[in-house]
Amino acid sequence: MDFTDRHFIITGGTGALGSAVIEELLETGAKCSIPCYDKSELEEFAYSDRESIYIQTSVDLTDEHATHNFYTMAAEQHGPLWGSIHLAGGFSFGNIEDTPLADFNKQLQLNTVTCYNSCRAAIQWMRESNYKGGRIVNIAARTAVEPRQGKGMTAYTVSKAGVAALTESLAAEVVNDGILVNALAPSVIDTPQNRKSMPDADFDSWPKPRQLAKQIAYLVSAENEVTRGTIASVYGKS
């Protein structure tokens, strides 16, 4: 796949999965823009000094105006938008009796709202680009498509189910614009943070960030001509 001079926005781009996605895209010539909420996220991010990377800090993706402004700045820096990859989000355990409405709303904001705002801004810029199309990939979760596995994390499950529904609905809405929208639904991703929080788990069974990055790269490529509205199960052996 050749992404030479294609412009991608990657939310959550400084995380473990985001870094793997950016590495995959940079290897094939892409230009990448990353919204960063907290400057500290850049401390262990390996690509900050790349000329083909544009980073803006203090971007709150739960705010539609801040999200739109970031997409505008990114387009000014790197040109027309071809792909938008939405990895930003958050996770929370908690039985429903231990999860007040404020915590439930926080999960909706972190997962569903950030994805919605990013999709909305991406569609606006893709329709104005000279590509006459584009690609969007969202990140749902296994619990979004298998809600019974969301026991003990209902707020998170509902928020990711919203991402899955958004993906399927939006894919039908924008297909005539040449924009293909898909999502991955991973099980537990093999990241240092997840290993630390679940030290007794079988790490070998978890899908690796680079494996998921390769799946994302195909879905956002021009080679993907027909796949849309898919919530792809990427569970590894777990």
**DSSP notation for the chain:** ---TT-EEEEETTTSHHHHHHHHHHHTTT-EEEEEESSGGGGTT-TTTT-TTEEEEES--TTSHHHHHHHHHHHHHHH-S--EEEE-------B-GGG--HHHHHHHIIIIIIHHHHHHHHHHHHHHHSTTS-EEEEEE--HHHHSGGGGTTBHHHHHHHHHHHHHHHHHHHHHGGGTEEEEEEEESS---HHHHHH-TTS-GGGSPPHHHHHHHHHHHTSTT--S--S-EEEE-TT-
Whether the pLDDT of residue 189 is over 90: the answer is: no
The pLDDT confidence band at residue 197, using thresholds 50, 70 and 90, is confident
Phi first, then psi, for residue 99 (nearest 5°) are -120, 95
Mean pLDDT for the stretch of residues 202-224: 94
Mean pLDDT for the stretch of residues 74-80: 96
The model's pLDDT over 124-146, given as tens digits with 9 standing for 90+, comes to: 999 988 888 999 999 999 999 99
Overall CATH class of domain 7-234 = alpha beta
Which pLDDT score, from 0 to 100, does residue 237 have?
87
CA distance 98 to 156: 13
Which pLDDT score, from 0 to 100, does residue 1 have?
83
The model's pLDDT over 34-48, given as tens digits with 9 standing for 90+, comes to: 999 999 999 989 999
User: Does 205 or 138 have the greater pLDDT score?
Assistant: 138
The model's pLDDT over 141-168, given as tens digits with 9 standing for 90+, comes to: 999 999 999 999 999 999 999 999 999 9
Whether the pLDDT of residue 111 is over 90: the answer is: yes
The domain segmentation of the chain, as residue ranges, is 7-234
**Contact between 151 and 177 (Cβ < 8 Å):** no
Average pLDDT, the chain: 95
